[in-house]
Each structure stands twice: as structure tokens, then as C-alpha cells.
Amino acid sequence: MMRKLVLVLSFCSLILFINGCVDEIKIGIPSNADHLVVDGMITDLPGPYTITLSYSNDYFEPFSPNKDDYNIRDLVQEASVSVIDDQGNEEVFAEISPGVYQSSVDGMRGQIGTSYVLKIELENGKKYESLAEIMPQNVGIKDYAIDYTSKKYLADNLEKTKDGLNISLIPNGFDGTYEFYRWRWEGTYQVETNPELKTKNVEGQQVPDPPPCTLETIPDDVNDVRCKCCICWVTEPSNSSIVSSKTLGDSKTLLHFLENTQGRLTGKYYFYAQQLSITKEAYEFWNIIKQQEDSGSPFSITNTEVPSNIVSIEDKNEKVMGFFSAASVKDIAFFVNKSYLKTDPVPMDVFKNDCRVLKYSTNVKPSFW
Amino acid sequence: MRYTILALILILPLTSVYSQSTNFKVPEHKVGISLTQLITQIEEQEEVKIFYLPEWTDELMVNKSYAGQNVKTALESILIGRNFQIRLIYNYGLVLLRDPKIDEIRADIISQAEDEIPSYNFGDTNNAKWGEEVTLNGTIFSDATSEPLIGATIYANEIDKGVASDANGKYNIRLPVGEHLMTIQGLNYETQTFFVKIYESSKFDITLQENPYTLDEIIVEDNAINESFQNVTSGTTRISLEEIKKAPSMMGEADIIKSVQLLPGVNSVGEASAGFNVRGGTADQNLILLDNGIIFNPNHLFGFFSSFHPDAVKDVTFYKGSIPIQYGGKISSVLDVRQKDGNSKRLKGSGGIGLITSRLMLEGPIVKNKVSFMVAGRSSYSDWLLKRAKDDELRQSSTIFYDFTGKISALVNKKHKLSASIYHSNDKFKLSSDTLYSWQNSSVAINLERTIKEGVYHISSLSAGNYSYTIEDEDPLESFDWKYGVNNFQAKSYFLWRKKNHLLTAGLDLTGYEIKRGVLKPQSAVSTIEEIKLNNERSIITGAFISDEIQLGKLAVIPGIRLSNFALLGPYDQPQYDPNEPVNDYSITGAKSFGENKIAKTYFGLEPRIAAKYNLNLRSSIKASVSRNFQYLHLISNTTAISPIDSWVSSNEYIKPQIGYQYSLGYFYQADKSNISTSVEVFYKNIDNVPEYRNGANLSLKQNIETELVNSEADIRGAEFSLIKEGRLSGQLSYTYSSSRRRTTTPDEALQINNNSFFPSNYDQPHNVKINTNYDISKRFVFSVNFNAATGRPISAPSERFLINNVIVTNYPERNNYRIPTYHRLDMSLLIRTNHKKDKKWEGSWTLTVYNVYGRKNAFSVFFEDGQDGRYRYPKAYKLSILGSVFPSVTYNFIIK
């Protein structure tokens, strides 16, 4: 909002002076990347738990140059990863895919009040350790709330309105001492696409090019020919930092603005949310990230260094990124539908391709659907 | 004869080795004879030859007997204060030496005079104590306004001694008994020259005639510059209104704060920035006074314009070096703005019509020659400009601001002058249709100046003020109303005693603040905003101060001390923190509660200050100062520019007062004839207990704000080089180097910023070049050019990114590790006077201004976010500029006589 304010204040937008006020500039910041990044958590939900190891990217380098998506580029393979609790129990994490390490299905399960330390040894012999994380208790979720809202916004200098649903959680009352929480969620909805209408350009002409999955035989019944990529389920994850450190009482914590767009509310929308009780250190980590999400204007908070709880054993000055967390998790799942809307649900644009091409999409029907 | 003496000067160093082996005695002589006669008598009766010019000695009377004294000692005592040196040569000769320039100066002045130079006699020759100094004092008035003139200089040419009239137009100069050729100058006033024959301490009020024009072809020396040369304290600048009006400014609005920013050592972070940084200090370290009332935010439209009405202002004095002892509470600078008293003879007015604002000032007598008034107002009508914008959001925005000021002054009797001032400024800015920002400053002040007896003055002021802002959001789901405010009052009373070589200043002040730290309220039933109410902070600062300006020949020294005591008053709840843990929300162990008016915390400040000036010769001097200042109120901000939601907090148990030390040393040189003066000043500042925000601090509406701050130390060093030229082509060229660094001082690693190593402060701009020039093309046209270039200020730039839990995280490895591009801007303006007859009732002028002549898009800030390249999102750096192009404007100004 503050940036909007400055833009309005600036004299560039005046009709006499049509040049823009915001211009891209090239700046030379010395590269300071390729630090080890640890992304992992142990919870009190049944395992397996996952630890992902990667190297940080240069700021100006896209994570993945070929996709409109952020996939980690430099994953750290062949590391030894284990978690040790304060009883001396050790759980070894095995690499299940490049850079992704997982505990065994019937292995360690996190317990409230127990402290956990992550140990990493890289292929080159470098050793890292997390600070001890003591899993805090979780007050639990009391309820959820869905509120209709509409917002005005500007796009291409025209005022437009978008509407949708504010999805909030209401945690149980905290006891007054400081407790730290983070929330994350996943939302699933069904999409229908039209791969049969897919075309390709042949010598300037658009010719039909339906992918084979448009008409595929069902293995059980050779006569039953169906489209296997017309209906998919898209599961979109939360990609922002939602944290709180106050004594919340019964107040709502807004998790997501579910916009009435692209068919998300034409049918039902499955919302799964986790409330994670985290340590003070984890809160401070996520809170800095939260601040980054609202930065950029001269009047916004200046960005600062992101802390980490991972240290190098040999070189205390080596910068390590990321966080290993121990969190107690309470979760909730519910369906949201168009009945909460005060306007008509907005359908999805016609998409002439395999529905699995969509981001976060699968044609395997989820168990809860 | 003159050449003989010049020749003698040259041989002297060789011959004076003989020293005073011969002891010539003054014979018995009559009292009341001239020095020439005495010398003749001595030469007749003693084996001594005295070399001199009779014109030096004819006028000097010998009114006591020196019989039996050493001749050299006797002559020295008769000639004291007249810039003579006496040397012994060849064991029989005494040479009276005087820099021949003095005679040249005298001859020049006499030859240039159009009319006969008037001569005034003061005192009775019979009572004259030859060889001693007496005082000439009085008040310098303006003929046009009959108001006392501030900063007019009265100058004894031959002995190179001058003083400037003070804030009440009063001057006081010590002169050796005898004849002096005096010059009185005031910018925009006709220079007066006259002879003074003074035999006893006397009073002499002088009225200067106003010049019909700002600058005529006659070269008017800018007395503000002279004054700065003569002032004992370094880093003091008086800015005259004319200088302010000539400088090209945004939208053609004459602007006091922007004029201050033209001075070396003063920076701002960009166009829309409220506040300025003085010698590497923060913007909250400046004390801004309007007729002694404290003004917290003198800005319109987020800093585009300052909220002081240019026509209402009489005088602006800016202290960035050694701050006079009667000012306290801020570390870096004092901007003392005085308003006009109002014309006590006839009704006059002035005003201006510009593209987005209009202003009007009226002044006149209520009781002729006794009681006068001045009222001035300004209002914007900038909405039309916004309505023509291309951008929808801009079109829906609206802005309005106005300011009003008034003053009534009364000469109660010859010894009492009473004035009352009132000031109010208001800004409203509505963004789109949702958010309304508004802020206000109000101040009332009463000033009483009393002459107890000649040379003893008593100055008292009483002021009260308020600064507040409100932010309202009307979007129903997020609707809120956020209020913040600071109330203050100040009572100050001090005495000035002039006695011979001393000017003693001593007094007391009492300042009270009530900071209403903020209330956030939801404005609709469905609003998700939770109500927050922060505790108020009330504090009282008492001060006692004393200083003495001592003249010891070529050396002038002002030692002084200020004692201050800060008390934070209840009701106040001071959270207590676990002493083994860092101060944060999680280490609170309880709270100490203090009841109504109970003292929650006190601090005592010992603030010694000393300034000195040594005249190397007629034209050059060295000034030095050391000072230690305390500041008990802090503006807490972790944004780049002073934002509308920054707030002031009091010191408390955990937020300690800032203590600033400043050491400065300067060399000043005023060239003889060429109207050029130059100066070099170096300074070093060290400020303890600067509140720096912690990594990840959230400052808005935070109750126990100390949990978001970390103690830091500021280390500032710099040098200012300045060249000033007066005359038809006038101006100032300056270069400032300054390095303003911070470092946190906490042993707690988690709170350290950049590992406790030094980092540049947010507004550190090491290199700064400023050029401002005026050229009087003719009586009707004045052309002005300003150029300003400064190193880009630092920001924290990201170096790497990573993904964690589907969230993209950017790391900013160090605070302030990158600088935004260099700032530079050229402005020009042309002042056109529409008529130029001396007795016209209406005087009009046009100011054509082109701001940012070559349309540079200076970066105000650089920010980083994902940009779209076709389908792909890439992180990119963007610069945000406030001015996107050249910005012309026109203003019509008028004066009703």
C-alpha cells in the first residue's frame, strides 16, 4: 500500500509527464549464493518426515529457467542426514529423490517437549548441525470461518473488483504466555480442460493436435474409451509465511483469500490447514520472511538478514540458510463452496490441453474427493 | 611618508633584535593635549625619534598624565584597540605601525561616498578616557517596517571590528575612544557610512532605508555572509528571506527548509522526504523553532513543500556546529525561524499565485508605532492537477493542505516588547478512495523581551504546540482509524548581560512532552482490525544554562554549560526483562507501575559547549568548537524516508538518551576586494545510544518499543569546503565529504547488525556538491541556477534466494550493503519584476522555474521483486523515482506597499 502511496505522490504519473516512475535497473550486487539450504521439519504427526537440502541461488537467477515455476535447481545429493532426540535416539533419513531425504515409515515420531537436533554430513565431508529444537505444545484449533469479501484494485489503470472468500482459522485460546504459531494450507479443486481442442501450428495453419490421453482405453474394459486428461485435481499450496506470536484468544487468523476465479468455486473446494506450534527461533525466521512479503517501498520496513538455526561444525562463520523445525501439528479440513459467495462463481477459461500440464495438477482423484 | 613607513615595516624583522634596551620616559606634560602634541614634546625632551603620521595622532586626545612612564608603554596604552604596533629601532626610534590597508580602506570609503559623510559625536570630550574602550549600543530599525532589523552589521572599518544586530535588532560594539569610520549594512537596505566621535559609552539607534530592489547594480555585500564570518561559533548560518526567494524551488514555492538544504553539510534523502540530515545526523536530531514554538513536522505533501509561509518569515538562523547554550534537546542542529512583527506604520501586504498554491500576507499597525499585526495564509488547490492525471488511482486521489500564521507585537514601552504568535498547518491526503492521511502542526508562542538597563536584557518565551496525524481506511473489512500525537509546552527565560568584553547568557527552561503513542480502532463492525491502544508517555525536561562570550583581543571564546534533567512521569508501566536475556517480548518478567506524576525514570545531562574564534589577521580567522548535547526524544523509524507513520518516543529505562559529541575546526577567509569568501570546516561527531532497529523489527503500534531496538553508536566525520561570491553574480559553491556510520554495541550476537561492525547509515551520502548562483541580468531580471549532486544513499540489497516450504525466501546478507545511483539535479529560475519605480503601490514579479532541467529520474529508492518476462517470472531490481521528468512552473508574486 505504501508503494501505491509513493507512486501517487510522485509527479511522474501526471499527464504532462508521462514517463513512468518505476524503471527496471541493472545493478551489480556481488554474488553471495551457493550456501547450504536446509528445509525440514519433524512433527508429532506420523512420519515419514522430509528434509530437503539444496544450495541457494543467486538473487537474479531464476530457480528454473524453463518453467513458470520454482523448482529447486541445485539439490544436494548423497548427504548423510539424521535426527537425534534428547534420549539419544537417532533416525537416519534416506535420500528418496535427489536432495530429498526421508525418515522411515515406522521410524521416529516427534513428541511434545522432546528436543531434536538435525545432523548433516555432506559428500565432501563438511558437517552441519541444527540448534536443538524443543517441540512446543499446540493449543489446537477451535473452528474455522469463511467470509465473503470483495476488493477493489487497479489493473491497467482501470478500477476492477475481485471477490472471493476469506478463509480463517480460530485457534483455541492461548494461556497468556508467549506461544508461536505458523499456519500452512493446501487447497484442492477439480478442473476440466479440453485437450481434444489442442492445435498446433503447421506451416502457418492451426491443425488439430489432441494428445493421446484425450481418448485412452481403460485397462479393465477395452471398450471403455475415456479422456484421461480432461479432469484433474489441482492442489495449490500456501506460498506465504503466516505466523503469529501474540496471545490470540478467539480471534481469527486469516489464512487465505480464495478468489472467485478460474473455476475454483464453481464446484467444491477442499481446504486442508495445519496449525504448527513452533519455537521462538522458528517464529523469528518466519516472521522476517513475512516482512519481506510486504516490502519494497520507501515507507516499508527495510529488509534484513534471514536467520537460520543450522551451523557448520568446522567453520562457525560459514553462512547456512534455512531452518530445521520441531512442531506440533493440529490440522483441519473442510469443503468450501459457492454458497458462501454473493456473486456467481467465475468459471475457468477454456484450456485446450492436457489438464496435467497445469501447475500442481494430477489426474489421480484424491481420496477425500 | 607612507612609503617610508612601508619600508620600515620591511626592515623591522631584522632590526628589532635590539629590543627595549633604552628606557625613554614620558616627561611632565599637560592633560588634554593631542597625541601629536605629546609626541612632539617627548621628542623634544628625550633622545627618541617617533615615526608616525600626524593624521593618526591629531585626533587622539591625551586626557591623563603619563609622566614618568615608559614611552612605549604609554603610547601602547593610548593607542589600545586601534590596531597599532610599536617597534623600537636603532635604539633611538619608535615606529608606530599600522597596516596601510586600513588607510586605503578609509580612503576608499570616503572617496566612494556620494554625499558628505555625516559625523556624530557621543559623550563629552572632557570625560574621555583616551586609550580605553567604550560601548556604543542601540537598535537598528528598518525604515520601511519600523521593525528592528536582525543581522544588520555595524562595522568600524579602521579597526576591523564589527558586530551584527541580534534577534531584537540590538547591537553592542566596544570601540576605543576617538574617531571611527563606521559602516552599517543590512541586506536589502542602503548601506550607511558615518563618522563616530565617541568619548563615553553611548546609545545610538539607527534607521536603515530599504533598497527599492533586492539587488541593484550597486554591489551590496551580503551581510549574512559577513555575519557568518564574524560570528564566533562555526557552523552558523543566517539565511535571509531574499536568498530563500531567489533559489529555484519546486513549483516556484519559496521554501525555507529547501534553502537550508542548499547549505554544505545538509542532505536529504530525496524529493518527497520530510526532514533533512545535518552533518550525518538523523532527521530527528534537528530542533525546528518558529518564534520559539517547537515544530515537529514542518512539511506539506510528505515533504514536497515546507509549511512555513515564506512571506511571514523575517529571518532564519541555522546552527549546525556549536549550538548556542539557550537551545537544548537536540543533537545535530537548530533551525530558528522568526516571523515578522508586522509593520507598525502602515498596512502592507504580499502574496503569490502559483500552479498549486496561493498565499497572502498582510501586516499593519493596530496602534501606530506601538502595536502591529501580521497574518499570513496559504492554501493548495492541487486537486485539478491530480484530476488531469492519466492514472486512475491518481485521479481518485485528492490532496489539500493549508497553513496559517499570525503574530501580534507590541512595544509596551521603551523597555518591553511583547509578541504573540500562532501557527497551524494541515495536510490531508486521500489515496484512491480508501485511505486518508492527515497531519497537523499547531503552535502558540508568547515572547517578551525586556531591557532592564543598558546592556542587560531579559528574554522570556512561553510556547505550546501539538503535532498529530491520523490515518483512516474506509475499506469496510479493514477499516480503521489510527491516531498519534505529541503535545508540548516550553517555558524559557534567560538574561543577557553585556559588560566590556563579556556577554553573559544565563537562564532556565522547562519543556514538557506528552506523546500519545497511538490508538488504532476498527471503524466498522466487520473490520478485521483489532483495537490497539498504546500507553502515553509524559516527560518533563528541565534545563539550566550559562555561557560567556569573552573577547580577548584577537581571540573570542564562548565557554558554556547546560545542565538538563529528564523525568519520565507516570502513569507509566515499565516492563521488566530478565536481566540474563536480551530485552524482548519473551523475556518480560513483569512490569513496574508508576502512578500519576510519579517519576518512572530520570536522566541527568551535563552538556558543556565551548566555541572559540581567533582572528589571524584582518581577513582570516580560525574557529573551533567542542560540544556535548543530550537528546531525550527519539523518532523511531525503520523506513528509508521519514514516513507519515513514524512516531516519537521518550527515553525510558531501556531507551537511553542520545549523547552527541561534536568537534569542529574551521578556517575562514574573506578576500579583500573581490567579494569572495571561503571556508574549510572539518568535524567529527560521535553519538552514543542511537536507537537502531533490530533485524525484523516491527515498530508500528508496538507498546514496548525497546524490544524492537538495539543500542548503536554513530561515528560521523566530514569536511565542508565552501566558496561564496557576492556581487552581481553571486552564489555559493560547496563540497561536503561526510561519512556517517553506525555500529551496534550489543554483546548479544542475535541482536548484532553486521556483527557489530560499522555500516553506513541510511542517509549516508559521502560526496555532495552544491552550486547555487544568482545573476542580476538587469534591475528587472534575476537568473538563478542550482545544482546538487550526491552519492546515492545505501540500501540493503538481496544476494541470494532459496525455497523453503513452498515459500521463496530472499536473503539480504548485510544491512546497507549497496548504494542507489548517484543523485543529481539542475534547477533554474528567472525572476522578472514587472515594474521598477520606487514609489509604486503595487510591485509584481513573475518567477519562472524549471525544476530538474535535464529530466533526470533520480532514484528515490531501489526495490526488488519478481518481474514478468513473457511467461517467466524473474527477480528484478527497480528504481522508484519521484520526479520523472523536467518540471516547469510559474508563480506570480506581488507586494502591496
The string of pLDDT tens digits covering residues B662-719 is 999 999 888 866 678 899 999 999 999 999 988 877 777 788 899 989 999 999 999 9
**Residue A113, burial from CB neighbour count under 10 angstroms (0-12, 13-18, 19+):** exposed
In a domain, A26, yes or no: no
B873–A68 C-beta distance less than 8 A = yes
SS3 track for chain A: CHHHHHHHHCHHHCCCCCCCCEEEECCCCCCCCCCEEEEEEEECCCCCCEEEEEECEECCCCCCCCCCCCCCCCECCCCEEEEEECCCCEEEEEEEECCEEECCCCCCCCCCCCEEEEEEECCCCCEEEECCEECCCCCCEEEEEEEEEEEEEEECCEEEEEEEEEEEEEECCCCCCCCEEEEEEEEEEEEECCHHHCEEEECCEEEECCCHHHCEEECCEEEEEECCCCEEEEEEECCCCEEECCCCCCCCEEEEEEECCCCCCCCEEEEEEEEEEECHHHHHHHHHHHHHCCCCCCCCCCCCCCCCCEEECCCCCCCCEEEEEEEEEEEEEEEEEHHHCCCCCCCCCCCCCCHHHCCCEECCCCCCC
Does A15 sit within 8 Å of B388, measured CB to CB?
yes
Of residues A16 and B711, more confidence is placed in B711
Whether chain B has a CB inside 8 Å of the CB on A235: the answer is no
- Tally of domains within chain A: 1
pLDDT of B176: 83
Say if residues B132 and B77 touch (Cβ distance below 8 Å): no
Any CB–CB contact under 8 A between A222 and chain B?
A: no
Residue A176 pLDDT > 80, yes or no?
no
Would an 8 Å CB–CB cutoff place A57 in contact with chain B? yes
Distance (Å) from the alpha carbon of B240 to chain A's nearest alpha carbon:
30
Of the two residues B838 and A47, the one the predictor is more confident about is: A47
Contact state of B881 with A241 under an 8 Å Cβ cutoff: no
- Examine residue A333 and state whether it is found in any structural domain, yes or no: yes
Whole-number pLDDT of residue A244: 82
pLDDT tens sequence across A184-215: 999 999 999 998 888 888 888 888 888 888 87
* Average pLDDT estimate for B335-354: 90
Chain centre to alpha carbon of residue B551? 23
CB-CB under 8 Å, A321 with B811:
yes
The closest CB to that of B695, out of A27, A166, A288, belongs to A288
> Which amino acid is located at A80 in the chain?
S
**Does the pLDDT value for residue A12 go beyond 60?**
no
Q: How far is CA B249 from CA A11, A267, B259, B642, B831, in A?
A: 15, 60, 9, 21, 12
The whole-number pLDDT of residue A296 equals: 52
Q: Which has more pLDDT, B658 or B841?
A: B658
* B chain contacts of residue A41, beta-carbon cutoff 8 Å: 805
Among B123-137, B577-591, B815-829, B842-856, name the one with the lowest average pLDDT.
B123-137
Question: Which domains does chain B possess?
Answer: 2-98 (3.55.50.30), 101-230 (2.60.40.1120), 247-896 (2.40.170.20)
First-to-final CA distance of chain B: 54
pLDDT digits (tens, 9 = 90+) for B433-451: 567 888 899 999 999 989 8
CA distances from B566 to B312, B328, B534, B541 (A): 34, 12, 21, 4
The model's pLDDT over B474-507, given as tens digits with 9 standing for 90+, comes to 777 778 888 999 999 999 999 999 887 888 999 9
Checking DSSP bridges between strand B277-278 and strand B266-267, what pairing results, if any?
antiparallel
Q: How far apart are the first and last CA of chain A?
A: 38
**pLDDT score for A14:** 45
pLDDT at A226 > cutoff 70: yes
pLDDT tens digit sequence for B503-561: 899 999 999 999 998 888 888 777 777 788 888 999 999 999 999 989 887 888 999 99
Structure confidence at residue B21 (pLDDT): 45
Half-sphere exposure of B263 (CA within 13 A, CB side): 30
Nearest-CA distance from A155 to chain B in Å?
Answer: 10
What's the pLDDT at B14? 38
Whole-number Cα distances in Å, B627 to B542, B606, B659, B758: 19, 10, 10, 24
Residue B1's pLDDT is 43
Judge: B871–A25 Cβ closer than 8 Å, yes or no: no
Over residues A321-329, the mean pLDDT reads: 95
Q: Give the single-character DSSP code of B852.
A: S
pLDDT band at B16; cut points 50, 70, 90: very low
Tell me the mean pLDDT in the region A152-156.
62
Asked if the Cβ–Cβ distance from B695 to A305 is below 8 Å, we say: yes
- Is A299 within 8 Å of chain B by CB? yes
In this predicted structure, what is the pLDDT of residue A158? 62
Print the SS3 string covering B127-167: HCCCCCEEEEEEEEEECCCCCECCCCEEEECCCCEEEECCC
Chain A residues with CB-CB distance to B808 below 8 A: 70, 239
Give percent above pLDDT 90 in chain B: 30
Give A257 to chain B, closest Cα distance, Å: 13
In angstroms, the CA B258 to CA A346 distance is 53
Q: 80-139 in A: which are within 8 Å (CB) of B?
A: none
Question: Which residue in A251, A256, A294, A250 sits closest to A274, CA to CA?
Answer: A256
| Domain presence at residue A49 | yes
Min distance B831 CA to chain A CA atoms (Å) = 24
A348 within domain boundaries: yes
- The burial of B778, by beta-carbon neighbours within 10 Å (0-12 exposed, 13-18 middle, 19 or more buried), is given as exposed
Of A70, A254, A301, the CB nearest to B803: A70
A36 to chain B, closest Cα gap in Å: 10
pLDDT of amino acid A293: 75
Residue A103: the pLDDT is 94
pLDDT of residue B432: 64
pLDDT score for B642: 55
- CB contact (8 A) between residue A288 and residue B696: yes
pLDDT attached to residue B742: 93
Residue of B nearest to A19 (CA): B884
The whole-chain average pLDDT of chain B stands at 83
Average pLDDT over residues B361-376: 92
Residue type, position B539, single letter: S
Q: Does B521 touch chain A (CB under 8 A)?
A: no
pLDDT (0 to 100) of residue B128: 74
User: What is the reported pLDDT for B228?
Assistant: 53
Strands B49-51 and B93-97, by their bridges, are parallel
pLDDT at A247 over 60: no
Contacts of A132 (CB under 8 A, 6+ apart): A86, A115, A116, A117
Q: What angle do CA B340, B342, B347 make, to 5 degrees?
A: 140
d(CA A44, CA B645): 42
Whether residue A352 has pLDDT greater than 70 = yes
Query: Between residues 798 and 827 of chain B, which touch chain A (CB distance below 8 Å)?
Result: 798-815, 817-818, 821
Q: Within 10 Å of residue B332's Cβ, how many Cβ atoms?
A: 29
Q: What is the pLDDT of residues B76-89, one digit of tens each?
A: 877 776 777 787 77
pLDDT of residue A15: 37
Select, from the ranges B186-195, B382-391, B728-737, B834-843, the one with the highest average predicted confidence (pLDDT): B728-737
Structural domain of residue A90, as residue ranges? 2-20+31-194+230-362
Residue in chain B closest to A153 (alpha carbons) equals B393
**Encoded amino acid at B156, one letter:** A
User: Which residues 771-790 on chain B approach chain A with CB closer than 8 angstroms?
Assistant: none
Query: Is residue A246 in a domain?
Result: yes
Cβ-defined contact of A54 to B803 (cutoff 8 Å): yes
SS (H, E, C) B427-471: EEEEECCCEEEEEEEEEEEEEEEEEEECCEEEEEEEEEEEEEEEE
CA distance B247 to B828: 8
Q: What is the spatial distance between Cα B775 and Cα B304, in angstroms, rounded to a whole number?
A: 26
On the question of pLDDT at A137 being above 80, the answer is: yes
**pLDDT, mean of residues A304-309:** 88
Residue A203 counted as domain residue: no
At A19 the pLDDT is: 44
B390 vs A157: CB contact, 8 Å cut-off? yes
B211-254 pLDDT, tens per residue? Answer: 644 332 222 233 444 555 556 666 677 777 777 777 777 667 77
> Of the spans B287-291, B722-726, B845-849, which averages the highest pLDDT?
B287-291
Q: Which residues of B touch A3 (CB under 8 A)?
A: 863, 880
User: Is A208 among the domain residues?
Assistant: no
Minimum mean pLDDT among B23-27, B410-414, B479-483: which range? B23-27
Q: Whole-number mean pLDDT of chain A?
A: 83
Nearest C-alpha in A relative to B887 = A17
C-alpha distance from A289 to closest chain B C-alpha (Å): 6
Q: Would A201 be classed as within a structural domain?
A: no
| Predicted pLDDT of residue A323 | 95
Nearest in space to B587 (alpha carbons), one of B634, B654, B636 = B654
Write out residues 303-322 of A within 8 Å (CB-CB) of B: 303-307, 319, 321-322
